[in-house]
Copies of this chain bind each other. A is one copy, B any other.
């Protein structure tokens, strides 16, 4: 901690430096993308339910960074960032939100329900918690096939009250499956505060009741999220069974774009905004010797470009044709079976 500032960037491995900047870029990109989404929603260019993850960017970035190709991720409704970090083309993602043909679901479903399995992203249904059994099944496949991949299931503290979550965690524990459960505890499920959702403080305490470890971390601290995830993921990949990481965080915006969140205390919001993950991480970059002003300018410019290009791509993309309504319902059955 006592090393001369400004010197590190030069002395550290280039990959490390690059990752540091990459993480920053991701958080900034997610925030910029989501801000634009909110705006487009107000302009009626994006409709249906839109759920902002503003304030929670460090979780997505920190958890996804240590993942590999072939890993399976089931994001929650607030995890637009997962798509960006895992390499989904921002244009296609924006097209997805606008219901365009070029979107992940070809206009079939809204917001984040369109997955991209090529990038290991499962498109969850709206039914909170129901993606955890599915992630567990993906992990089961990895175990059966002796693959070194892992599955990651994100869920809110609100979803933790669903029965599916219990069934999933219990089975993962029994089978020692390579699955990481990530709880984004932002203290509210829609309008319902934590104390009306559970009688305990930490969702992570549940892990032990399923025979694996729960970790609590500040979800607004990118480095902390990254550090615990790297450590835990290494163990999971190593066959040591599931784990849970609970990230304490806060939702800046309303539950959805329709929600003014009047049930919340303004003080509470301000308190949490002062823990914003981005300035915190900027301080780190500075301490590590990056020229923050320049980095920020460069990255802001880049994210603006990317977002703008995404919007243009999406706006120029056509809507699906009506007859496509009946497509994509069934996969072709494998073989034409002979009649008796």
Contacts and interface: CB of A to CB of B under 8 A. Distances in A.
Contacts of A308: none
A316 interface: no
A41 interface: no
A205 to B, nearest CB: 5
Instruction: For chain A, give the interface size range.
Output: 20 to 34
**Best-surrounded residue of A163, A176, A198, A212 (most CB of chain B within 10 A):** A163
Contacts of A210: 198-200
A40 interface: no
Interface in A208-236: 208-212
Contacts of A165: 163, 166
A197 B175 CA distance: 9
A208 B120 CA distance: 35
A164 interface: yes
A174 B162 contact: no
Contacts of A173: 198-200
Contact of A211 (B176, B198, B208, B211): B198
Given A163-B163, A205-B209, 19 more contacts: A161-B166, A161-B170, A162-B163, A165-B166, A166-B166, A170-B197, A170-B199, A173-B199, A174-B197, A174-B199, A176-B199, A198-B210, A198-B211, A199-B211, A199-B212, A200-B208, A205-B208, A206-B209, A209-B209
Interface of A: 161-167, 170-171, 173-174, 176, 195-200, 205-206, 208-212
